[in-house]
Each structure stands twice: as structure tokens, then as C-alpha cells.
Amino acid sequence: MSRIGNNPVVIPNGVTVDVKDNLITVKGKLGELTQPFESVEIKVEDANVLVTRSSDTKDQKAKHGLYRALVNNMIKGVSEGWTKELELVGVGYRASNQGNKLELALGFSHNIVLDLAAEVKVETVSEKGKNPIVKLTSHDKQLVGQVAAKIRGFRRPEPYKGKGIKFVGEVLRRKAGKSA
């Protein structure tokens, strides 16, 4: 029994869901997302999206909850949007943006310039005495997570001093240094 897959997804006002030939399309005020699906049936009834499976094979059980979660993320994305915040911890680490071009100074011999996808909006916040913060927002949860992981991968947080790029609110596992 899939606890997640059996829950209906509520469609908020201003969002339209269309299912045709193993392709679900969700449109809202922030954009439009499409997702192909297989092995399950997706139906729109009243203001709910229902995901059902025809049998209890291992493949269908796995995809039942998966596609329900993907549809839920799509509906939330086009109505509210998704946000990830990254914090740059380290002396001299800076971030600035011009449009969708993000420039990071992370202690390398050169600055890293990253052209972001048009769907992702970037904002940098730099206050005196605080670490710079990069805010990424989009209607596509997968795209925001992928871009955030790529930025974090440029300088992952190290366990001794905690320097690097980390998510806001992320708890790092710290290690003790050399004992004298």
C-alpha cells in the first residue's frame, strides 16, 4: 500500500491540469510544466488529481508514489514557486549577479561566471558583517535543486572550519583539528 500515492493532490485556484496520452501538463501563474508518465493512471476529478495503479507489481508500486509526488511538486511550483538559498562562508567569498549571470569569487585565481537558465531567477544579498546569500527561485523544483547543487559543488563546505558554499539552515558535521 502506497501511503503517498493514495493521497489526492488538491488543485488550487488558477492552476489547470491536463492529462493526454501519458503526458501531464500543469499551467499556473508562474509558468507551465509537463511530465511524461508510465505504469500508472492519472485522473483529474473535481479539484483533485488522483494517481492509481492497475496491479501490485514492484515497478508499479514504486512509480505510484513517485508520480504523485512529481505532480504535487509541479502544482506547488506553478502556484507558489520553489526557492533555495545558498550561503557563502569564507573570508573574501563574494557573489554578484547581473540579470541571470551569477559571478562568484570563491578564493580561486579567477572568478566563476555562471549563466543560469531563463526559468531560474537569481538574487544576491550582501550585508556588511554577514555572509553573502544567493537566492534561487523558479517554478521547476528539479531545476532549482540542480542549479543549487552545481553552485554548491564549486566549493563544498569543509568539516574543519566550515568554509565553502552551504544551504541556509544546513547543519555541517564538524571535526576536531589536530590535537597538540
Q: What is the pLDDT of residues 5-37, one digit of tens each?
A: 899 999 999 999 999 989 999 999 999 999 999
Element (H, E) at 154: helix 141-154
Q: Quick one: pLDDT at residue 180?
A: 65
Q: Quick one: pLDDT at residue 8?
A: 93
What stretches in the chain show pLDDT beneath 70?
Answer: 1-2, 180
C-alpha span between 123 and 110 (Å, rounded)? 21
Cα distances (angstroms) measured from residue 106 to each of 27, 81, 127: 38, 29, 17
| Partners of residue 9 on adjacent β-strands | 49
User: What is the percent of the chain with per-residue pLDDT over 90, rounded to a whole number?
Assistant: 87
C-alpha span between 43 and 24 (Å, rounded)? 10
Q: Quick one: pLDDT at residue 7?
A: 92
- The CA-based dihedral angle spanning residues 115, 34, 53, 55, taken in that order and rounded to the nearest 10 degrees: -70
Block residue for cell numbers 549577479: 97
